[in-house]
Amino acid sequence: MKPFRVSFFLLLMAGLSLHALKAQITDGDGNTYSSVNIGTQTWLGENLKTTTYNDGSAITNITDSAVWASQTAPAYCWYNNSISNKATYGALYNWFVVDNTSNGNKNVCPVGWHVPAISEWSTLVSDLGALAGGMLKETGTTDWYSPNTGATNSTGFDAVGAGYRSSTTNFLYFVAMWGYCGFWSTTNGLNGYGQNAYLLNTDATCHLDSHYQQYGFSIRCVKNVFSELPDANTSNNMSIYPNPNDGEFSILFPNPSNNLIDINIADISGKTVFETLSTHENYVYNGQQLKPGIYIVYIKGENLCNVIRMAVK
């Protein structure tokens, strides 16, 4: 199969910049997000806002406190049931939204991202140290009550005091906006609890804890990385040629089309070194910035998900 060759020079001559080729981070509703690298991880720089999974299926919006408190299926709400809180604080979700058993193995995060396990929150805290909470919190008192202890936002994580929805039916069912922000993990805490991280306006700690699964917390997604190498350099009749290579290679698709795909190249540690959107046609990369080593090429699109190991000599 002869590859369809694309030159970055030709794209630039046509008025397209490399920035224009970079994939946006977009959820199931079409909301777009920033991202931030912290230690070995890449996180969304904002709380999740979506009302659908990334396959387009809807999450139930529940406003009634009694229904929310008894819910054992995925649900979301806005703080004080007001969509005006969406832009700054994102949505509040119960734990069933992130639990694969409850949600039918669906993903609420953008394609290529996932809701972290508690171990991934623990990695974040370990990377940052004892003052992790302060390093994650937005500074000032616009979105946190005073004193907003220790807030430096040195990571760019921009955590805001989004508050939470409790599992009670009394008048305190929306609680602690500007004083608290909780983030779900996918880890089951047993006995009706889910494990989570949370931040307070009164200290600089990132706390790891468990709360009732009916609580409404924020979600921060973390980017997928590769914990092990695939066994082969082909997947579902897709291949990289040549492999190994000297930094120039083609991705060969069995059924080329004009559908957009996300091509992500990660080094052996899982760190993304290149990402672009391309049409689902045979794609050529000149590899100028790739050093010799092992890489993982992650290819995602509509009805398409492939992981291919690649060696650069």
The string of DSSP codes covering 163-190 is BEE-S--STTSEE-TTTEEEEEEEEEEE
- Per the structure, the complete domain to which residue 270 belongs is given by 8-25+226-312
SS3 264: strand
Residues 149 and 292 in one domain: no
Predicted confidence at residue 299, as pLDDT, reads 81
Six-digit token string for 273:
């070194």
Final residue in a domain of this structure, among 199, 223, 247: 223
Number of domains observed in the structure of the chain: 2
Residue 176 located in a structural domain: yes
Tell me the mean pLDDT in the region 223-236. Answer: 53
With 80 as the cut, is the pLDDT of residue 113 above it?
Answer: yes
Residues 82 and 186 in one domain: yes
Element (H, E) at 118: helix 118-128
pTM of the model: 0.69
Cβ contacts of residue 109 below 8 Å, gap of 6+?
A: 27, 44, 48, 54, 115, 219, 221
Residues 133 and 253 in one domain: no
pLDDT (tens digit per residue) in 172-181: 689 999 999 9
Residues 210 and 305 in one domain: no
Residue 2 located in a structural domain: no
Residues 63 and 201 in one domain: yes
pLDDT (tens digit per residue) in 53-98: 988 999 999 999 999 999 999 999 999 999 999 999 999 999 999 9
- Give residue for tokens 């390093």: 135
Residues 282 and 178 in one domain: no
**Distance from C-alpha of 152 to C-alpha of 149, rounded to nearest angstrom:** 9
Identify the weakest region by mean pLDDT among 74-78, 124-128, 133-137, 172-176.
172-176
User: 79: which DSSP letter?
Assistant: G
Residues 55 and 35 in one domain: yes
What are the CA-CA distances from residue 155 to residues 158, 217, 256, 283 (Å)?
A: 8, 21, 41, 35
Final residue in a domain of this structure, among 173, 203, 223: 223
Residue 125 located in a structural domain: yes
Residue 108 located in a structural domain: yes
Q: How many CB atoms lie within 10 A of CB 299?
A: 23
Residues 51 and 86 in one domain: yes
Share of the chain above pLDDT 90, in %: 56
Tell me the mean pLDDT in the region 19-32. Answer: 70
Final residue in a domain of this structure, among 189, 223, 257: 223
